[in-house]
Amino acid sequence: MSSFTRYPHCNSRGHLDVETDHDDKHRNLFIGTIYVLFGFFTIIPNVVMLVAVTTTERSAEVLKYWDRSRLARI
C-alpha cells in the first residue's frame, strides 16, 4: 500500500492549486497525441511499402502477359 500524500501547492499566480487534475488531463492528452503520431508514422510507411510491392508484382505479370500477346501477333 502506498503512503504517498499529496500536499497542496501554489500555482504560478500564488493561489492554492486545486486543479491538478486539469494538468494531468493535458499531460495525458499530450502523451496520447505522441502515441497516435508514432503509430501513424509507423503504420503508414509499412502500408505504402506493401502497396508498392504488390503493385510492382502485379504490373510485372501484366507486362509479361502483354509481351506474350504482342509477340503472338507478330
With respect to residue 2, please indicate whether it lies within any of the assigned structural domains: no
Q: Which domain holds residue 62?
A: 45-73
pLDDT in tens, 15-70: 776 665 566 677 788 888 999 999 988 998 888 888 877 777 667 676 677 666 66
In a domain, 36, yes or no: no
Task: Specify the number of domains making up the chain.
Answer: 1
User: Would you say residue 49 lies in a domain?
Assistant: yes
Q: Is residue 65 part of a domain?
A: yes
> What does the pLDDT read at residue 70?
62
* Rounded distance between C-alpha atoms, residue 46 and residue 52, angstroms: 10
pLDDT at position 34 is 92
Asked whether residue 26 is assigned to any structural domain, the reply reads no
Q: Does residue 64 fall inside a structural domain?
A: yes
Query: Residue with C-alpha cell 503472338?
Result: 72
Helical residues (DSSP H) of the chain, grouped into ranges: 20-73
